[in-house]
Amino acid sequence: MKTLKYIFAILFLSATFVSCSDDDENTPAEINPVEGLNMIYEIPATDHTVQIYSEKQNLEVGYNEISIRIKDMASDKYVANAAPSWMPMMHMETMEHSAPHSMLTNTEESTVYKGHVVFQMASNDTEYWEMILNYSLNGQQKEETLRVSVSQPADGLTKTQVFMGTDDTRYVLAYVNPKEPKVAVNDLQAVLYKMESMMSFPMVENYKITVDPRMPGMGNHSSPNNEDLTYTTATKMYDGKLSLTMTGYWKINLKLMNSSGETLKGEDVTEANPESSLYFELEF
């Protein structure tokens, strides 16, 4: 009975406290820096916890935008000087390899470290992905290894291609935007990496990717006002324009060209050749 009384007292006090702060009109509305994101993993450690967020419900093959927060339990605050780095690793039956990934930066929100990973393949019963995280907390270097699951996108459409170029280099090309395509001229965005080794995937700059969207279900018609993808230093991505004149299934035929204008992968769409071997698929 005594315990119950205490609980009531605490409840009453906290209710009072909440209503007090609600009444205070000078208190600015608290901005949630991970608003709209899903916390897909949380790694509990003795004195802190690492939280991993995505726009999606889970990690998928292709381009994944990921946000990481580290909460110091002692101060109950998210840490702004953790300087984290990460390394995705896939453990396959016969080998191990990494995946293309950006650096983690906290330029928009000091306590949210953002970056992206392009997973080339899904995990399965015997082959799995791990994310190795390194960061500093209260002057100490920490490392956590988290097993993550990576699935094929539910829509089954191709938005990522791993391929060998005519220069005998293996490339990874992944679709980034538009996330919600519209009947309009959309901002098209993609990332391009090359595979230097099993562990190293440097970003490829200053190449060009031609864009030729077609509707195979409707006589393979195209659309006007597309713009080829070119590298933008500010975004560290390839930016172009994708014109979609109607809803339905579109095949975005692509051709990758190096800085000397040589075609490394993909073919022109002609009467005789309805599609390129390099493409993205969209349906909306």
Residues in touch with Cu ion (CB under 5 A): 90, 92, 121
Least spacing, CB of residue 97 vs Cu ion, in Å: 6
Least spacing, CB of residue 90 vs Cu ion, in Å: 4
Closer to Cu ion by Cβ: residue 100 or 266: 100
Closer to Cu ion by Cβ: residue 43 or 92: 92
Nearest to 213 by CA among 284, 159, 275, 161: 275
Least spacing, CB of residue 119 vs Cu ion, in Å: 9
CA distances to 64, 67, 220 from 159, in Å: 12, 21, 19
Quote the tokens at residue 271: 């009467």
Closer to Cu ion by Cβ: residue 61 or 112: 61
Closer to Cu ion by Cβ: residue 121 or 203: 121
Closer to Cu ion by Cβ: residue 120 or 253: 120
Q: Which residue is nearest to Cu ion (CB)?
A: 90
Least spacing, CB of residue 150 vs Cu ion, in Å: 9
Compute how many other C-beta atoms are within 10 angstroms of the C-beta atom of residue 54. 18
CA distances to 223, 248, 283 from 241, in Å: 11, 18, 17
Closer to Cu ion by Cβ: residue 195 or 256: 195
Least spacing, CB of residue 221 vs Cu ion, in Å: 37
Least spacing, CB of residue 93 vs Cu ion, in Å: 9
Closer to Cu ion by Cβ: residue 174 or 252: 174
Least spacing, CB of residue 199 vs Cu ion, in Å: 12
- Long-range contact set of residues 225-234: C-beta below 8 Å, sequence gap at least 24: 225/185, 226/185, 227/188, 229/188, 229/189, 229/190, 229/254, 231/192, 231/204, 231/205, 231/206, 231/207, 233/205
